[in-house]
Chains A and B, each alone.
Chain A
Amino acid sequence: MARITLTDVRKSYSGMEVIHGVSIDIADEEFVVIVGPSGCGKSTLLRMVAGLEEITSGTIAIDGRVVNDLEPRARDIAMVFQNYALYPHMTVRENMAYGLKISGMPKAEIAERVARSAEMLELQPYLDRKPRALSGGQRQRVAMGRALVRDPAAFLLDEPLSNLDAKLRVQMRLQIKELQRRVGTTSLYVTHDQVEAMTLADRLIVMNAGVAEQIDTPMRIYERPATTFVAGFIGSPAMNILAATVTPDGAGLTLPGGAVLACPAPADPGQPILFGIRPEHIRAVTQPGGVGAIELTVLAVETLGADAYAHCAFPGHVTSAAEAMVVRLPGNAALKPGERLHAVFDTGAAHFFDPATGRRVGPRR
């Protein structure tokens, strides 16, 4: 059990900075998830905590002790790798016991610990098999087990579920969360999957291009994304972000295509502003003329069963597929491309961002 403190951690590869100063204080027993697109520096950050990558500047402390110059083995952490990194020439039992044996633990205690972890992960039938005789999911559990037996101060997990199929991933996700709650070990978990991030995290670090754009609880990030990047990354499907202009009277917004939405915005009249609204905060009404209803043209409909998502454009405005407005509909909605849809925006759930910086601007008091 431990607290992990990162203070302005930076990393450069031959002069090129890839992590631009990340700071976070991870509480004991907390489950923190680092999420972001490929190449944003998630693994690099995690590997610096593990001691596999040198820290260019800043400090990393585990339980108040700065570990910058400590070898991985002196940091009392366990890591689960994306490819699991199981020792191929050892049985599952030997894989799990490897670290304990090195620490000089008595044989009886090793056996007991391995048995306990194997039971937690339902690995008993496979203890004498070599990794190559296991399925992907079983290998993943062995990797977890190898971390678990050591009872370390912290778990570091780098995309541990990304090699599993969708169904198994959901199952393991729940299992990992449950396991972490049970043993209460501080965990730092890397993923590029925002659903995984939302469901697992006590707190989330949303990274983009080496910068921690926002650090907060999943719900607060969902409700108050700090930047357009976070707004677009967290939530599925992504938030709609529209380039709007505040009307001259200041009481509404002119949307692309010219439609006016009655919605006070935190900007001066005539000023441009980014207006964000999630698909789930738009209601489609069939009859035109509802109060504040805005007309949209349907480009495509994706039906997922319970829900359907309509990708729409503003009439009279040329819209590429990437900039299409997404509206959530009931799964049985019978809409076809080319048809019209009238949308009512829940303006209370709207988000505003500065077009120049992409940062959130709060509602005006």
Chain B
Amino acid sequence: MNRATFPHRLLPWLLVAPQLAISFVFFYWPAVQALRQSTLREDAFGLKTQFVGLANFRRVLSDPAYVNSIQVTAVFSVLTAFFSMAIALLLAVQAEKVVRGKGFYRTLMIWPYAVAPAIAGMLWLFMFNPSFGTLAWPLRQLGITWDPLLNGSQAMTLVVAAASWKQISYNFLFFVAGLQAIPRSLLEAAAIDGAGSARRFWTIVFPLLAPTTFFLLVVNTVYALFDTFGIIHAVTGGGPGKSTETLVYKVYNDGFVNLILGESAAQSVILMVIVISLTAFQFKYVERRVHYG
């Protein structure tokens, strides 16, 4: 490997400075603030602040609502990541087979990604709202008592569907690129070796797609944990009850709606730890099974 040499010692720092500045302003600084805030207790009007050590963490972790929120988040994230990736992969594989109008088809597939999360949420709400939803009536005709405003699992289904739908485009794009990188001759060799199309997929395509799949797994986990706030906010608002209140949503709810700032900050610190360890886990244990071409 050649080491890059710069004409000036300051230049490399200058080149990374914008990135560092952004990371500092939008990540490190707020993170430190959250850390500081999580050890303080403040009254709702911000008049009195006192240092309480780890009391906020203790209260948060012993709160049954918080434990519930962890469960909700786990279910929501796993389902969202799974469905958005599985459906995207299915569509990408099908798109490979399209002969005419491939570009058109792909363009259509990418559109949902351009829709803002809150708008996407509204869209699904309009389709599935029990009283005015376009698709709620046909569902009821099928004998399903559809009411996500009262039924927790139906609400969960709805947010998972909306959140997955939004992310499918992104995953689709990466899967299409990943599929194109697999040499055709490998599939031809497998076909001659006697493998049918399903076996070719599971023994050749899927393993060779692993780097893409792994990358998307990390990205989608983070997406489901953080970026789905807008969708949940628009579709269910965390309800009914607390059945769709994810960790991020709870941070918002406790901090900005209920103004319990200390506990909310403690929650966001915990969330940060969860995400960091989850990503580290993925890199340490899942990536081992990934074959990079």
Measured CB to CB, the residues of A under 8 A from B are 50-52, 71-73, 77-79, 81, 83, 85, 87-89, 98-99, 102-103, 146, 150
Question: Are B291 and A98 within 8 A (Cβ)?
Answer: no
- Closest CB in chain B relative to A158 CB, distance in Å: 9
Question: Are A73 and B193 within 8 A (Cβ)?
Answer: yes
Question: Are A87 and B183 within 8 A (Cβ)?
Answer: no
Taking CB as reference atom, which chain A residue is nearest B182?
A88
Question: Are B293 and A73 within 8 A (Cβ)?
Answer: no
**Known contacts A73-B196, A83-B183, A102-B199; is-contact A88 B191 (Cβ 8 Å):** no
Question: Are A77 and B192 within 8 A (Cβ)?
Answer: yes
Question: Are B191 and A89 within 8 A (Cβ)?
Answer: no
Tell me if B207 is interfacial: C-beta within 8 Å of chain A: yes
Question: Are A88 and B291 within 8 A (Cβ)?
Answer: yes
**Contact partner, B193, options A51, A88, A89, A98, Cβ 8 Å:** A98
Chain B interface SS verdict (over half): helix
Taking CB as reference atom, which chain A residue is nearest B191?
A72
Question: Are A102 and B193 within 8 A (Cβ)?
Answer: yes
**Contact partner, A79, options B186, B192, B196, Cβ 8 Å:** B192
- The 4 A-B residue pairs with the shortest CB-CB distance, nearest first, are A99-B193, A85-B185, A85-B189, A89-B291
Tell me if B118 is interfacial: C-beta within 8 Å of chain A: no
Number of residue pairs spanning A and B whose beta carbons lie under 8 angstroms apart: 60
**Contact partner, A71, options B189, B191, B208, Cβ 8 Å:** B191
Interface residues of B in 267-293 (CB under 8 A from A): 291, 293
Flag B172-199 by CB within 8 Å of A: 1 or 0 each.
0000000000010110111111111001
**Known contacts A79-B189, A85-B185; is-contact A102 B195 (Cβ 8 Å):** yes
In the complex, A81 Cα to B188 Cα: how many Å? 10
In the complex, A97 Cα to B203 Cα: how many Å? 13
- Closest CB in chain A relative to B91 CB, distance in Å: 24
Tell me if B234 is interfacial: C-beta within 8 Å of chain A: no
Tell me if B60 is interfacial: C-beta within 8 Å of chain A: no
Question: Are A73 and B194 within 8 A (Cβ)?
Answer: yes
**Other 15 A-B pairs with CB < 8 A, given A83-B185, A89-B210, A102-B193:** A73-B195, A73-B196, A77-B192, A78-B192, A81-B189, A87-B186, A87-B189, A87-B190, A89-B207, A89-B208, A98-B190, A102-B194, A103-B194, A146-B193, A150-B193
In the complex, A116 Cα to B195 Cα: how many Å? 23
- Closest CB in chain A relative to B185 CB, distance in Å: 4
In the complex, A51 Cα to B196 Cα: how many Å? 14
**Known contacts A79-B189, A102-B199; is-contact A85 B194 (Cβ 8 Å):** no
CB<8 Å pairs between A and B, sample of 28: A52-B191, A52-B192, A72-B188, A72-B191, A72-B192, A73-B193, A73-B194, A73-B195, A73-B196, A78-B192, A79-B188, A79-B189, A81-B185, A83-B183, A85-B183, A85-B186, A85-B188, A87-B186, A87-B204, A88-B291, A88-B293, A89-B208, A89-B210, A98-B190, A99-B192, A99-B193, A103-B194, A146-B189
What chain B residues lie within 8 Å of A150 (beta carbons)?
Answer: 193
In the complex, A103 Cα to B193 Cα: how many Å? 9
In the complex, A362 Cα to B149 Cα: how many Å? 94
In the complex, A51 Cα to B194 Cα: how many Å? 12
What chain A residues lie within 8 Å of B208 (beta carbons)?
Answer: 88-89
Taking CB as reference atom, which chain A residue is nearest B199?
A102
User: Which one of A81, A85, A146 has the highest number of Cβ atoms from chain B below 10 Å of its Cβ?
Assistant: A85
- Closest CB in chain B relative to A269 CB, distance in Å: 58
